[in-house]
Amino acid sequence: MKLTQRPNILIFIPDEMRGEVITNTSIQMPNVRGLQDDGGIIFTHNFSVNPVCAPSRICTFTGQFPHNGGHRSLYQLLRPREENLFHILKQEGYEVVWIGRNDLFHENSIRESISKRKSVSKHTIIKIIKEGMKKFGIVKIIKAIHKIRKMEYSQNDADKPEIQHLLNTFFGLNPHSTDSKWFNSFYFGKVSSEKAKESIDIDYVNQAVKYLEHYAKTPKKSKKPFCLYIAINNPHPPYQVEEPYFSMYDRSKIRSPYPFSLEEEERKKKPLYANRMHTLYRLNEFSEEELREVLAVYYGMCTKVDHLFGQILKKLKETGLYDSTIINFFADHGDYAGSYGLTEKWPTGMEDALLNVPLVVRVPMMAPKTSVLHALTQTIDVFPTILEIVGIEHPYTHFGKSLLPILKGEKEFHRESIHAEGGYDVREPQAFEIIPQSPSTPGMGIYYIKTKTQRENPTIVCRTAMWRTSRWKLTLRSHPDAIEELYDLENDPGETINLFYNSKYQEIIRELKEDMLQWYIRTSDNPYYQQKREG
């Protein structure tokens, strides 16, 4: 069977999923992993270029590195002049449908790139508002919605029951008291089945299913090929999930590729952020069993994501769209989830726990020679891969490298090294995260210590660059007092022993620095692709 028109495109992106949940067969991911048996390929060594949501997504869909466009924070989103995959697809006749969260577009650039934008459904919003109106009245609920949308609620506001009602629906309330060591751990625990039904991710998936049903019924002459982009929230912290996912993983049998704890001497050799997080979040008081609890719930959240993804695959098959749709499943970045005695993420964290992310691709009508590839790849490679598969040539210049030759089995080698970067300078106040009103602020309070620490000591989040080969990982930082890192991944895959200050490895460091310098020179900027002079 040969496709007579350009294939449809599905992009399903969970937030904060580690790559090891796909490669670790003890984690139940039957729908994602099952694509292997149907012509899909799992990339085991795929890496993000940044450990934070917005920068990593922007780079993925532009084929750029963070330094090319200054995209290193949550706030510098894509502006109208910045080219991206969705804009190109729309120009080429695709109906681009975006369902879910936004860590990608500035509001002024959405219309240029997106045909249809779907966030939380009207049905869900109306349900939440109606419940609030019954309890608190229409005036209070409308005012509460306005404050939350603008992120203008103070601690006094957040104590009001109408605001707590809305925040609990979207974020969940911290179940721990402020004096509990769990309060800043990002761990919320078991969610009731009733609460789970209000999940925004379920709402997103239901909307995607309805879109596919409607698309399948549309007369052929009236429809364009689609690009359906689904961006869900999970498994982003707080760590919370309902049954059966909560109890799915035996805490005593969990095996992580990253250590839960470090020897005291080795912890001293870690960057400042790792030690500050460890103590300020009170994670230094956690036993290994308690850190396993965090990881078990995180794994449960990942399996729930797989279940939601399975609903999309099921609908593609039911509607006859499965064999005319390119399927892409990947994450923006990973999560500590208890590793190294840490939780959540950090803007300059360069561990594989944060940067190694899933990538699974299925191309219809292609019979690959293998279902697993171990070549080094980066998320920015998704951009040119999709364009090449659908046959779109565009003059836009970028730094992604198409995966199609290794998908076809024509090549085994892809990249010799990969690169990531992050962090901010003091001269960039616009990049620093906003500090919530207090640790108790519902929804955002869990970020209070993290954001306050960055403001009080900017050294902790100084600009950082990482260079990784199959064996070595070098991480450099811009502040002269910041700890830099070198790991021998062949003998220390868990990144526990920092060799940067060991005299035996200075020649290795020199060679890696030279490679990084040459790379920075080659990628230092990216001129606008049009040559036309104006003025």
Average pLDDT, the chain: 91
CB atoms near residue 221 (< 10 Å): 5
Instruction: Give the model's pLDDT for residue 162.
Output: 73
The terminus-to-terminus CA distance of the chain in angstroms comes to 52
Q: How far apart are CA 526 and CA 65, in angstroms?
A: 10
Radius of gyration of the chain measured on its C-alpha atoms: 23
Six token digits for residue 431: 């990049």
Look at residue 34 and tell me whether its pLDDT is greater than 70: yes
Domains identified in the chain and CATH numbers: 8-522 (3.40.720.10)
More confident residue, 127 or 245: 245
Q: Give Cα 64 to chain centroid, integer Å.
A: 16
Look at residue 184 and tell me whether its pLDDT is greater than 80: yes
Task: Name every residue whose Cβ is closer than 8 Å to that of residue 345 and which is 6 or more positions away in sequence.
Answer: 16, 51, 52, 333, 334, 335, 336, 354
Six token digits for residue 334: 């990973």
Q: Which residues are 13's β-sheet partners?
A: 231
Q: How far apart are CA 377 and CA 375, in angstroms?
A: 6
More confident residue, 283 or 220: 283
Q: Which residue type sits at 450?
A: K
Predicted structure pTM score:
0.93
508-523, pLDDT tens digit by residue?
Answer: 999 999 999 999 999 9
Please tell me the least confidently modeled range out of 133-142, 336-345, 443-452.
133-142
**At 422, which helix (H) or strand (E)?**
strand 418-422
Instruction: Give the model's pLDDT for residue 4.
Output: 58
- Helix/strand/coil (H/E/C) assignment for every residue in 471-494: CEEEEEECCCCCCCEEEECCCCCC
pLDDT above 90 as % of the chain: 76
Q: How far apart are CA 34 and CA 320, in angstroms?
A: 18
Look at residue 121 and tell me whether its pLDDT is greater than 80: no
Instruction: Give the model's pLDDT for residue 529.
Output: 83
Please tell me the least confidently modeled range out of 143-152, 258-267, 417-426, 469-478.
143-152
Give residue 367's pLDDT band: very low, low, confident or very high (50, 70, 90). Answer: confident
Report whether 10 contacts 95 (CB < 8 A): no
Which of these, 7, 66, 61, 72, lies nearest to 396 by C-alpha position?
A: 61
Look at residue 501 and tell me whether its pLDDT is greater than 50: yes
Give residue 126's pLDDT band: very low, low, confident or very high (50, 70, 90). Answer: low
What is the mean pLDDT of the segment spanning 197-210?
91
- Tokens 């005012």 sit on residue: 143
Instruction: Give the model's pLDDT for residue 1.
Output: 41
SS3 of residue 12 by DSSP? strand
Give residue 171's pLDDT band: very low, low, confident or very high (50, 70, 90). Answer: low
Instruction: Give the model's pLDDT for residue 113.
Output: 95
Report whether 103 contacts 54 (CB < 8 A): yes
Look at residue 80 and tell me whether its pLDDT is greater than 70: yes
pLDDT above 70 as % of the chain: 92
Burial of 399 (0-12, 13-18, 19+ CB in 10 A): buried
DSSP 66-115: HHHHT--SSS-PBPTTS--HHHHHHHTT-EEEEEE--SSB-GGGHHHH-S
Give residue 157's pLDDT band: very low, low, confident or very high (50, 70, 90). Answer: low
Six token digits for residue 340: 């190294």
Look at residue 172 and tell me whether its pLDDT is greater than 80: no
Q: Which residues are 359's β-sheet partners?
A: 330
376-388, pLDDT tens digit by residue?
Answer: 999 999 999 999 9
Look at residue 476 and tell me whether its pLDDT is greater than 90: yes
395-452, pLDDT tens digit by residue?
Answer: 999 999 999 999 999 998 999 999 999 999 999 999 999 888 788 777 778 999 999 9
Instruction: Give the model's pLDDT for residue 469.
Output: 97
Report whether 475 contacts 453 (CB < 8 A): no
Give residue 123's pLDDT band: very low, low, confident or very high (50, 70, 90). Answer: low
Q: How far apart are CA 361 and CA 54, in angstroms?
A: 22
Q: How far apart are CA 407 and CA 6, in angstroms?
A: 18
